[in-house]
Amino acid sequence: MVQEQSRSEKTRELIINSARKVFLEKGYAETSTRNIADVAGITQPAMYHHFNDKEAVYLEVVNRVGKDVREVIGQGVLKPRLQPLNRIDEITKNLFDIHPKGVGIFIHESYAHLSPAGQRKLGMLYRMYYLDPLTGYFNLPEVKLRKEVLPDEAADILIYSLNAMFSSFYRIGGQSISTRDKGKLSLRLILFGIAEEPDEQ
Amino acid sequence: MVQEQSRSEKTRELIINSARKVFLEKGYAETSTRNIADVAGITQPAMYHHFNDKEAVYLEVVNRVGKDVREVIGQGVLKPRLQPLNRIDEITKNLFDIHPKGVGIFIHESYAHLSPAGQRKLGMLYRMYYLDPLTGYFNLPEVKLRKEVLPDEAADILIYSLNAMFSSFYRIGGQSISTRDKGKLSLRLILFGIAEEPDEQ
DNA sequence: GTCTATAGATAGATAGAC
DNA sequence: GTCTATCTATCTATAGAC
């Protein structure tokens, strides 16, 4: 069942892996097709033999990265020995191992630069690989959400809030949360909020 | 004391106000100097008589917008008749009246496209006009923060989390929180978190 | 299948006439 | 002070030789 990889397939994989590095680091708009070709060690037009356009390369990369994301979230959910808070802490740690500059620069900031069809596809991949697996975590019986929050809303909010925590801009206003322990502390703030809840609103 | 405005000063104001509209809507990178000039009804090179470069126009706009932001936050803080939650709700509402596409597209996404000097200045303005006034709210004696959160951290987290809530990308995964009441609900999630806190961690 | 060459678009910024 | 014309750089994508 192991198929020999043709030269074309090898080059295609090389392009995808090179593009993965650059897109994860700089996002869609700031990545040029020459950047990708340079990392791959081919000329820029050669890329167009393997892909229709830049968008097709990006969406294939999102598909590959997304599968890894789904995998690490799924592994984190299925660790019954760990407390729920330690499990979600491990999930976010693995999420940022995959996205060195955060999820936002890779997914959210790319959206506006895609064609309408590309935007629909990106939305689909984001839901399938990021939101749905995290919804699985918040659906665990031992994870207690605040009563007005639905599991898929919690997943969405968590990813967006994490974006914020790991933004490089986070430091420009002076020393801030990112200079302290980014992991556990940030996560507690997102999960449990920043303020004391008033007795009755 | 009322000084007559010269023709040059009027044109400069016209450019700033035109740029303000476009930068708030599209952010720094997606705004071209021709966009600004078109809105102002002048040619693109004419802009360069009044400003050294695109960055100078942007930073002047941030300064103007920032003053308005400081103003609405300050007004919100000083409303002792309102409950704290209603006050912060009013503050965020006014914040998004000023930023129709959210604070992120105007401030945070612009950062990477500026010169080092511009980045330092933007960081300074962001702290002065956004973070410090909000820190004032979280310093109010009647606002109770969770014990591990400092007031300036709370300010930073609030702005970043609000970014997320109002991102246009927020909808692509299907119907989500943004289709419900964006205001009070989102704010409660940021302030008080999404999860029930475990009895002891 | 990959290359060189280049088309075609758009960006920020400058030169110089008026 | 504003204009027309243009420079320079960069980008995505294509044409066509090899």
Ordered by start, the domain boundaries in chain A are 54-192
Question: Distance between CA B100 and CA B107 in Å, rounded?
Answer: 13
Higher pLDDT, B170 or A61: A61
Give the distance, in angstroms, between residue A54 CA and nucleotide C9 C1': 16
Amino acid occupying residue B152: D
Res A165: pLDDT: 67
Q: Which range scores top for mean pLDDT: A170-179, A184-193, B62-71?
A: B62-71
- Structure token digits, residue B181: 């009441």
Residue among B10, B126, B104 nearest B59 (CA)? B126
**How close is the nearest chain B Cα to the Cα of A3, in Å?**
36
pLDDT band at B180 (very low <50, low <70, confident <90, very high): very low
**Torsions phi, psi of A200, nearest 5?**
-150, 130
pLDDT digits (tens, 9 = 90+) for A118-140: 999 999 999 999 999 999 999 99
Question: Distance between CA A32 and CA A26 in Å, rounded?
Answer: 10
Give the distance, in angstroms, between residue A199 CA and nucleotide C9 C1': 60
* Side-chain half-sphere exposure of A116, counting CA atoms within 13 A: 0
Lowest average pLDDT, out of A145-149, A181-185, B47-51, B52-56, goes to A181-185
Shortest CA–C1' contact from B12: which nucleotide? Answer: D1
Shortest CA–C1' contact from A35: which nucleotide? Answer: D11
Residues A175, A180, A182, CA angle at the centre, nearest 5°? Answer: 115
Res A134: pLDDT: 93
Give the distance, in angstroms, between residue A39 CA and nucleotide D16 C1': 26
Res A181: pLDDT: 52
User: Would the CB atoms of B167 and A108 count as touching at under 8 Å?
Assistant: yes
Whether residue A179 is predicted with pLDDT greater than 60 in this model: the reply is no
Chain B residues 45-74 with Cβ under 7 Å of strand C are 45, 48, 52-55
* Cβ contact B33 with chain D strand, < 7 A: no
Res A180: pLDDT: 42
Q: Residue B7: is it exposed, middle or buried by C-beta count within 10 angstroms (0-12/13-18/19+)? A: exposed
pLDDT digits (tens, 9 = 90+) for B74-96: 999 888 777 888 888 889 889 98
**How close is the nearest chain A Cα to the Cα of B167, in Å?**
9
Whether residue B176 is predicted with pLDDT greater than 80 in this model: the reply is no
Indicate the residue of A126, A158, A169 with minimum beta-carbon distance to B172: A126
User: Would the CB atoms of B164 and A161 count as touching at under 8 Å?
Assistant: yes
Burial A165-187 (b: 16+ CB within 10 A, else e): bbbebbebbeebbbeeebeeebb
Shortest CA–C1' contact from B52: which nucleotide? Answer: C13
Supply the mean pLDDT for chain A: 86
- Report the SS3 class of residue B83: coil
Mutation site for B-interface testing, chosen from A172, A176, A188 by largest number of B Cβ within 10 Å? A172
pLDDT digits (tens, 9 = 90+) for B8-17: 899 999 999 9
Task: Give the torsion through C-alpha atoms of B74, B76, B78, B82, to 10 deg.
Answer: -170
Whether residue B174 is predicted with pLDDT greater than 70 in this model: the reply is no
Residue among A77, A53, A85 nearest A132 (CA)? A77
